[in-house]
Structure 1
Amino acid sequence: MPAARRHVGATGSRTVTISFAGFNRAWAAWIGDRLERRGMRVVFQRWDPPVQTPLEENLQDLMLAPGRILVLLSDWYFQLGPRSHEEWNRALREVVAAEPDRFAAVSVTTSPLPAATAVLAAADLTNVGADEAERRLLSRLDLPDDPLTEPVDGRPGPRYPADTPEVWGGVPRRNTRFTGRESLLNSAYHALQEAGSGAGVVTLYGMSGVGKTQLAAEYVYRFGSEYDVVWWVSAEKRVTYRQKLAELAPALGLSTGAEYGERLRAVRDALRRGEPYQRWLLVLDGADEPEHIWDLVPTGPGHVLITSRNPEWSEHNSNLLEVPVYDREESVAFIRRRAPRLTHNEADQLAVALEDLPLLLDQTAGWLNDSDMSVDEYIELLEGGIDSDVVKVSADFPLAFQTAWSILLNKLRETVPESVDLLRLCTFFAPGSVPVRLLKEMPPGVMPESLSGLMNDPLLWNKAIAQLRQYSVVRLESHESLADEASTSGESLYLHRMVHQIVRKDMPERDRGEFIEVVRRALAGAEPGRPTDTRLWPRYAEITPHLKYADVLGSEDPAVHTLVLNCLRYMYLSGEYRAGIKLGERAMNAWRELLGDTHPRIWDLSYHYANLLRAVGDYAGTEAIERAAVEHLRTERGPEDLEHLRAAGGLAADLRGLGRYDEALELSGWILSAYRELLGDQDSRTVNAQNNLATSMRLLGRYAESLELNRITLEARRQLLRPRHGWTLYSEINYATDLRLLGRYSEAESLQAQSVRVHRLTMGRDNPQTLRAEHNLALCQYRMGERARAEELFTRVLERSERVLGEGDPLTMMFAASQCCFAREHGDIDQARDISARVVGGYTDMLGESHPYVAGSRSNHALILRNVGDREQAHLLVEEALADMTRAVGENHPWTLGCAINASALRNLVGEPERAAELTDATIGRATEALGRTHPLTLSSRIAHAADLRALRERQRADKIETEALGDLAATLGAQHVHTVSARSRNRPYWDFEPQMV
């Protein structure tokens, strides 16, 4: 808010200083705008007196402000300090009463204020519309209430604080029985207001039933007038959250297609940019699993309010506010609103028995109000069979809560017994949103007889749901696809986590086995069967949270086994690595016990589980898994068995990850030959084997051979699969990477740019494969000299990868390696040094001292040390890197040749020009043999050798080699290419190690 703005009107130049608490900033802005448009000069003075200064002095200092002082009276104005009412009364009598003409006031609260505020003769602005509030304001300041004219600059004024925001959606109806929570509401407001741009995130967390959702709703109604957009989304599951957030797109007026992924991207971008609205509030309700959605929390100038049971939101840049149970007086007041027939003492008794938990108070008081049971009788039922000591269940709820729910379940059973069956059936889905439509979609004859009546009779179904809703057991969640929004059948029910826990525990054992089998069949029937199809990922995202609660790992049904395997495949392809690893580990233990160590399903599971572990860099662990599978399957089925070949392919990938490239190449070549003989060239498994062999060739520096094999693979996948299939897009990355590594930068950039656009549309911006595509595009742009575009993309990719995958993920490490190389030459050298040190340490911890990635990252780090002036340490480190790389991959590998170029530069710097020239001379020969005379790495070695000869004063030889190299550079890359220009300026070339995916 500006300190002062000046407008001159017909009444002349006058000044008003508005003194307000930060809590009432919206009122101050609106009042100031009304006055400025009538020619007043307005000065805004935020009132926040220091505690150590007497209140009288603070008021006297306020009188130093120009013009008349308009005080915005609210309980918050007097709470700042904090000060007692007695202090305020004394100060008001001494300072304000002596200068009545200097002060005026308006009141924006109905709370009791210090008695001496009467001296201010405040105009009451509460509970009136904008026009009447403006009239009262002007009357209090003795200003005419002439019609307001629009300003010359067309600037829209602040909204009247009591008005509804421009965009409003999904917000629950206001709870007229809301009680207390004043300090929490104020703390949430200040935490959001004081947060910087992009950091305004507050999480209201606490155990289930404490009223987090109600608190968030009350926040919206109290402070919603300060926002242009208020949008409420359910965030229990990632897929639901994505869909609900995407629905904001049309409300914001964004032009998008019907596909909700496109809408979601548009919404997040609009919120980030603050266009068309900067003042937005997004409420994420029930976000109990931050690891599933934290990467989708929007950033930008607005605010995010989260409700959650999980305090781990603090790990994701959120300010935590714990929501405790009610204070006793709050409990009593709430109970008496919910159950008017109860007296104060009865309400107090009930609050004690229920330990002030709001959800319990709401449900039990509502039930008591409709019954004639006394509170004493009810409490006796609650306490029956319970010792005097309070016993807590795992979630820290009293055992009395379970007893209370037993009473409620008995009541449901007496009225509509089918409602209890439905409720129990729902507990074998995950708590939160229960997709009951999956039950109704099951084919006839699959449902047990005890439940078929409920599922097949719409009247009975609606009656059961209505009974559950009546007692706040479930909440109906309708979907856009429903033609009749008023229908009670719904597609999903919301089941609170506490209710879920208690009902499931209370279930008779005879029902448990029957009900769980129904849910398993429902989930297996809903599984799309194509985890590689990105269009079906939202359906997998909906299914996977329920696997645990349906105990699918305990089933012997082959269809359920397929469900588990396909969900693991989806988790791998979509980048949900950590969740997939947890499921895979539990599945390995469960299926070995259930099926035996050598059951065919174990080998299927091993393949998917190893893929997930490999994705996070656990190559030693995956090698052990895959080698055991390979040895068993070879012995039992023979070397050309398809299951054995698949396991061998996984083992080859492990060998690549471990840096054992020659072994991986040999194994990959044999696998491809076996597939071709068994299945032919056009089978997808043969094509996949081609892809893997090309990867082995690239890691050995055989870029031309890798390019040709990837070209064949890409063409085959475009024919066999759709052009936007994930594997087709993967081949485009590989082909573009080979083009770039061969120095064909323009071709690589053109293909990769197009592929990035398709990746974003089909796989999502934060999918690991999309990130890899964008990273390769950034490298292409960098090699072409488009440094500004490359810098932006490098930074964005690394930030997103750290957020989505974590700093220690192999992809993140790869992106960080590129970022520190770029920052070394064109950015912040200190940042480059910090990132590089993390990369070296990360690769050492993950892969061990002898891995080529460790040697390569040390070579990169040596160049950074050189740039900061630590030449001796840089020289030692680069020589160590050269030796280690030579041992790891051989002296003719491009990585070794690159290390040699860097080492020669450092030898020159430390006074060893002869050894430098000797090294670059040998490097030219090896590079020419391995890569060709005009490959960028060969050209760099030739330019470096010319520099070394010049250092030895062999100018004639140096000039000859340099001239020839410059000619080849111009012919290959172009006369104005950055590499050519740099070489022409005699800037010594360096080489950046670039880790590759395995």
Structure 2
Amino acid sequence: MQGSAHTTAPPAEARRITISYAGYNRAWAVWIADRLERYGWQVAFQRFDLPAGVQLHEALTDLLLVRGRILVVLSDWYFKLGPRTDQEWNEALRAVVAPNSARFHAVSVSTAPMPSATAAFGGTTELWGLGAREAERRLIQLVGAFEERDPARDTLGGSQGPRFPMELPRVWGGVPRRNSRFTGRERLLQSIHDQVQNAEPGTGVVALLGLSGVGKTQVAAEYAWRFSSSYDLVWWVPADQRGTLRQRLAELAPSLNLTTGPEYGERLRAVGDALRRGRPYARWLVVLDGADSPETIADLVPTGNGHVLITSQNGAWGDYNNTHLLPVPVYEREESVAFVRRRAPRIGRDDADLLARTLGDLPLALDQTAGWLSDSTMTVREYVGLLRDDEDIEVGLRVAVDFDTSYPTAFSILLNRLRETVPEAVELLRLCAFFAPGAIPVQLLREIPAEHLPEQLAGLMSDPLRWNTATNKLVQYSVIQWDPPNTDEDPEAAGTIMLHGMVQRTVRSGMSEVDREVFSRAVRRGLANADPAVPTDTRLWPRYARIVPHLDASGALYSRHADMHTLIRNCLRYLYLAGEYVAGIQLTDRVERAWREVFGEGHPLLRDLASQQAMLLRATGEYARTERINRGLLRRLEEEGRGDDSLDVLRVLEGLGADLRGLGRYEEALDTSERVLAGRRRMIGEEDFRTLNSRNNLAVTLRLLGRYRDALVEDRRTLQTRREVLRARNSSTLSSETNYAIDLRLLGRYAEAQSIQEPNVEVQRTVMGHDHPQTLSAELNLALCLLRSGERTAAHERLADLLERAERALGEASPATQRIAACYAFVLRSHGRLDLAREIGERTTRRYRQALGAEHPFTVGTLANHALLLRAAGEREEALELNEQCLIRMTDALGPDHPWRLGLALNLSADRNIAGDVESAAELSRDTARRAAEHPSLGREHPLTLSCKVAHATDLRNLRQRAEADKTEEEALTGLISTLGSQHVHTVSARARVRPFWDFEPQLT
């Protein structure tokens, strides 16, 4: 091998080499440069672009203007630029390269035949098909070396330098096959690369925006292939549906060697953490394809130091995740011409220009049309004539107004020709058109019973030869993309068909009503067969995630078949249980419109749907609206003569009870909850899951009323039964554990509560997912357990993380986010971060006032928290005035003995004391301590009662009643030591005579 070290350094000119390459071969150029630099070369790059108006010999002559030697990366891509014929290349190589052969070297990275005049290069070597070490040896043998390579800088097989182009990243999943006909887009690809490489950590997110058919997916795929050597992980995710996105991200866990259980919630959390930490791979790329609804999936966009590439038609991505928007226009005319000539070599430049002009430079239309014209005897001019005179073309083919109107007609010609050669391919395409565009799991196709398939397709699914013939032809003409199954990720996978939205709409628009019904019915039967029928089982959620996207396209919403109604109910139930409230609400709206049209007003299906709609709306805090829905349902049932002996009535009453809890009308909610529980116990028994739900709801109502001991009794009973009947990892059982732990904490039994909540959180993350509303609720309770146990720093860190996750996953205004924000605000205040605490607290109060009204206990309680902040900020008069108002309003809402009212009274007594109204303060603290001691759920040993006694001792001391003050203080300290321990933060503070305060915490409703 050449390359021994020189004793005298050669001049810089001699050490310089410029690599000339086609953009398609960038990975090779980068790797070659990295190797050469290790041997002392000074490397420059020159991407070889060849505009249509530039002569070949001129472009090659321009290469000679660079200093030093020139290394050309030869491939069919280098020679096809333009594209130019072999004759043109031979003439240019002989004229320019041959006389300057001493300056030129070449490496071949392709198996395609090269023009014969490539012999004019001073030296060539073959790199394709070699291993990295042999390729490096040949490269240095070709060009020589100026230095010995430093072994410490050797990264072959490592992760520091660019990867050898023949090796894919360690993790590579779902990326479409590389398009060997990809053309142009060089500036766009470079813009993507520059944007993500120059982005600050955590902001490397780029969204490719453009109309359907413009080639966004192809650009993203080419970027993944072209820059793959820069990454250790590349993962492609269909992102048109939230459920599909969650499922696909979760499937990354095994590839990252993450130790998780089978539930995708646990896998999803583990994957998010691994990407965020950059372990095991810091250099990662995730592509979210077809992400047209950022409002529903933005919280799932991975974060960390890796890169995210999004394809979308929705410019709203600019408002999310520090996303940089890059528009993808139609081809420039030069790109269109080059693409057509590459796709169909028999088409000349003028004809390619005519075709591009006719089809509006739309890449999808050019791809499909040139593909079949390449196999056809029809000339371009004859084809264009057909487009202009479409008498023999299927009529009615028109799609959305934002597409070029020539596309439907152009596609119908292709379809007609395809029908003449492989009719089964057309029938398969017609079947696929009744799934949603995007990813169609082949397993759903195979769920269709043979007797429901159109006659032409009856044997296709079970005959591999016929199946392959049909799909291969559709792929050949770019009508579909085919992603083969990855059995390592999913042993049951059968592959995925990717159907473009323009293709789907155009195929459907060209079918008769009779054919549409035949094919849509077949797809509906397949979806019904795929229904696992147990939406409560979190292990089955990935199956529902595959079904939900196709309900609309299949016509399921307008079906009269009972199986379809069951499927829709199960899908809505899954969306609710999975915490996908917005998607569920959107689906109920569409189903409601469809069912009103099909069945008319008053149909029982609409009544059932309204209950599910109310359940989803309630989860987003729409309590007034859901009360109206349930009141209307009750009236209709009463008009039908239904009473409490009807399960339908009890179901609606259960929803109404939840509405009343949300609206702060707790006594009404208690009457309703007791009525529902009694009815269900009588009609369906104690252990039915509906009865258990009713007992759970009764406990929630009791807790809101401050009856914590009664709530504990009900929650303990529910938890025991759910563990026996539903098992320990059932989502309802896990929810009961959280509720039980909340009861214990509110009763002052902090250590017991924490001992239950800590393992529960870990299981919730595993079963439900990291950002599921139920998991967030469990983690909030754990943070408050830590806070009450004195671990304030840990509680602060958890709440900060919780609020960020809740805002991302559920939105800033969701009930769960509001509860977390209220708690985080008072913890921030206790840490002295008053400005941020004020900002978050005021925002939370404002939202409660807007959503629930000024007199709602949550509004009043968060206002009282704000009064504590005002006191801490030195605004004592304002704090006193605000607390006086809050105490009156909380008393009016809940009565004088509710724990929330007693907590506000504790705070107000301090404000009065500070203001110098010592007698009034002592009177209020004495009354508050007495009421707390007599309260059935608090009693003499509860931390709130003992805090009230500590406050009263302070007031007595200020009144110079020292004997009584000392006695009261001693009683309080003895109680705190007995209940919490001598070193608990409350005990230590009381011993130091720090006046206690009470923070309002919004409860689960």
Same fold (TM over 0.5): yes
Distance, in Å, in 1 between the alignment partners of 2:856 and 2:978 is 36
What secondary structure sits across from 2:310 in the alignment?
A: strand
Shifted more, 190-199 versus 467-476: the winner is 467-476
Partner of 1:625: 629
- Superposed, 1:461-610 pairs within 5 Å as 461-481=467-487, 490-610=494-614
Q: Deviations over 1:543-578 (max 9, x none)?
A: 111111123221221221111111111111111111
Q: Which amino acid aligns with 1:937?
A: L
Deviation at 1:898, TM superposition (A): 1.0
Deviation at 1:307, TM superposition (A): 2.0
Partner of 1:943: 950
Shifted more, 718-727 versus 226-235: the winner is 226-235
Shifted more, 945-954 versus 182-191: the winner is 945-954
What secondary structure sits across from 2:996 in the alignment?
A: coil
1:287 matches 2:287:
no
What secondary structure sits across from 2:552 in the alignment?
A: coil
What secondary structure sits across from 2:206 in the alignment?
A: strand
Cα pair distance change 1:73/1:946, threshold 3 Å: same
2:965 to 946, 958, 964: 958
1:401 to 395, 407, 414: 407
Q: Note the aligned Cα RMSD (angstroms).
A: 3.9
Shifted more, 798-807 versus 429-438: the winner is 429-438
Distance, in Å, in 2 between the alignment partners of 1:589 and 1:140 is 71
Cα pair distance change 1:556/1:968, threshold 3 Å: same
1:737 to 742, 746, 761: 742
Q: Is the 8 A contact 1:138 1:145 kept in 2?
A: no
Deviation at 1:963, TM superposition (A): 1.6
Q: Is the 8 A contact 1:656 1:696 kept in 2?
A: yes
Deviation at 1:460, TM superposition (A): 4.3
Distance, in Å, in 1 between the alignment partners of 2:138 and 2:527 is 63
What secondary structure sits across from 1:549 in the alignment?
A: helix
Partner of 1:706: 711
Deviation at 1:921, TM superposition (A): 1.4
What fraction of aligned residue pairs are identical, expressed as a percent?
53
Cα pair distance change 1:784/1:183, threshold 3 Å: same
Deviation at 1:785, TM superposition (A): 1.4
Cα pair distance change 1:76/1:621, threshold 3 Å: farther
Distance, in Å, in 2 between the alignment partners of 1:847 and 1:700 is 18
1:169 matches 2:172:
yes
Shifted more, 649-658 versus 422-431: the winner is 422-431
Partner of 2:882: 877
1:362 to 367, 377, 381: 367
Q: Is the 8 A contact 2:947 2:996 kept in 1?
A: yes
Partner of 1:80: none
Distance, in Å, in 2 between the alignment partners of 1:358 and 1:571 is 37
Q: Is the 8 A contact 1:125 1:133 kept in 2?
A: no
- Superposed, 1:356-395 pairs within 5 Å as 356-384=361-389, 393-394=399-400
Deviation at 1:433, TM superposition (A): 1.8
Q: Is the 8 A contact 2:269 2:765 kept in 1?
A: no
1:809 matches 2:814:
yes
What secondary structure sits across from 1:655 in the alignment?
A: helix
Q: Which amino acid aligns with 1:505?
A: S
1:922 matches 2:927:
yes
Cα pair distance change 1:27/1:454, threshold 3 Å: closer
Partner of 1:859: 864
Q: Deviations over 1:78-117 (max 9, x none)?
A: xxxxxxxxxxx99x99xx9xxxxxx9898799999xx9xx
Partner of 1:719: 724
Deviation at 1:657, TM superposition (A): 0.7
Q: Deviations over 1:124-153 (max 9, x none)?
A: 797687879989999999974335333799
Q: Is the 8 A contact 2:399 2:506 kept in 1?
A: no
Q: Is the 8 A contact 1:354 1:401 kept in 2?
A: yes
Distance, in Å, in 2 between the alignment partners of 1:478 and 1:340 is 29
Q: Which amino acid aligns with 2:150?
A: L
1:432 matches 2:452:
no
Q: Deviations over 1:44-83 (max 9, x none)?
A: xxxxxxxxxxxxxxxxxxxxxxxxx957354699xxxxxx
Distance, in Å, in 1 between the alignment partners of 2:956 and 2:741 is 36
Q: Which runs of 5+ in 1 are unaligned?
A: 1-8, 41-68, 78-88, 97-102
Deviation at 1:915, TM superposition (A): 2.3
Cα pair distance change 1:76/1:934, threshold 3 Å: farther
Deviation at 1:897, TM superposition (A): 0.9
Q: Is the 8 A contact 2:520 2:554 kept in 1?
A: yes
Distance, in Å, in 1 between the alignment partners of 2:870 and 2:720 is 45
Distance, in Å, in 2 between the alignment partners of 1:886 and 1:173 is 68
Cα pair distance change 1:810/1:105, threshold 3 Å: farther
Distance, in Å, in 2 between the alignment partners of 1:70 and 1:885 is 77
Q: Which amino acid aligns with 1:198?
A: G
Distance, in Å, in 2 between the alignment partners of 1:470 and 1:139 is 41
- Superposed, 1:601-750 pairs within 5 Å as 601-635=605-639, 636-750=641-755
What secondary structure sits across from 2:151 in the alignment?
A: coil
Deviation at 1:821, TM superposition (A): 1.1
Q: Which amino acid aligns with 1:947?
A: T
Distance, in Å, in 1 between the alignment partners of 2:929 and 2:489 is 73
Q: Deviations over 1:760-811 (max 9, x none)?
A: 1111111111111111111111111122322222122211111111000011
Q: Is the 8 A contact 1:71 1:106 kept in 2?
A: no
Q: Is the 8 A contact 2:214 2:330 kept in 1?
A: yes
Distance, in Å, in 2 between the alignment partners of 1:900 and 1:713 is 34
Q: Deviations over 1:851-888 (max 9, x none)?
A: 11000010111112222222222222222222211111
Q: TM-score, normalised by structure 1?
A: 0.85
Distance, in Å, in 1 between the alignment partners of 2:298 and 2:501 is 20
What secondary structure sits across from 1:548 in the alignment?
A: helix
Cα pair distance change 1:835/1:108, threshold 3 Å: farther
Q: Which has the higher contact order (CA 8 A, sep 6+)?
A: 2
Partner of 1:86: none
Cα pair distance change 1:34/1:827, threshold 3 Å: farther
Deviation at 1:394, TM superposition (A): 2.2
Q: Which amino acid aligns with 2:213?
A: G
Distance, in Å, in 1 between the alignment partners of 2:642 and 2:228 is 68
Deviation at 1:295, TM superposition (A): 2.6
Deviation at 1:481, TM superposition (A): 4.9
Q: Deviations over 1:836-863 (max 9, x none)?
A: 1110111111101111100001011111
Distance, in Å, in 2 between the alignment partners of 1:339 and 1:449 is 35
Q: Is the 8 A contact 1:165 1:229 kept in 2?
A: no
Distance, in Å, in 2 between the alignment partners of 1:603 and 1:157 is 59
- Superposed, 1:784-795 pairs within 5 Å as 784-795=789-800
Distance, in Å, in 2 between the alignment partners of 1:683 and 1:137 is 74
Q: Deviations over 1:557-605 (max 9, x none)?
A: 1221111111111111111111111121232333234334333222221
Distance, in Å, in 2 between the alignment partners of 1:189 and 1:850 is 54
1:838 matches 2:810:
no
Q: Which runs of 5+ in 2 are unaligned?
A: 50-60, 82-95, 109-124, 392-396
Partner of 1:976: 983
What secondary structure sits across from 1:781 in the alignment?
A: helix
Q: TM-score, normalised by structure 2?
A: 0.85
Deviation at 1:754, TM superposition (A): 1.2
Cα pair distance change 1:817/1:427, threshold 3 Å: same
Deviation at 1:616, TM superposition (A): 0.5
What secondary structure sits across from 1:430 in the alignment?
A: coil
Q: Is the 8 A contact 2:880 2:912 kept in 1?
A: yes
Deviation at 1:251, TM superposition (A): 3.9
Q: Deviations over 1:799-833 (max 9, x none)?
A: 11111110000111011111111111126322111
1:338 matches 2:343:
yes
Q: Which amino acid aligns with 1:72?
A: A
Shifted more, 433-442 versus 533-542: the winner is 433-442
Q: Is the 8 A contact 1:72 1:107 kept in 2?
A: no
Cα pair distance change 1:509/1:73, threshold 3 Å: closer
Q: Is the 8 A contact 2:105 2:143 kept in 1?
A: no
1:148 matches 2:153:
no
Cα pair distance change 1:528/1:827, threshold 3 Å: farther
Q: Which amino acid aligns with 2:228?
A: G
Q: Which amino acid aligns with 1:435?
A: P
Q: Is the 8 A contact 1:807 1:813 kept in 2?
A: yes
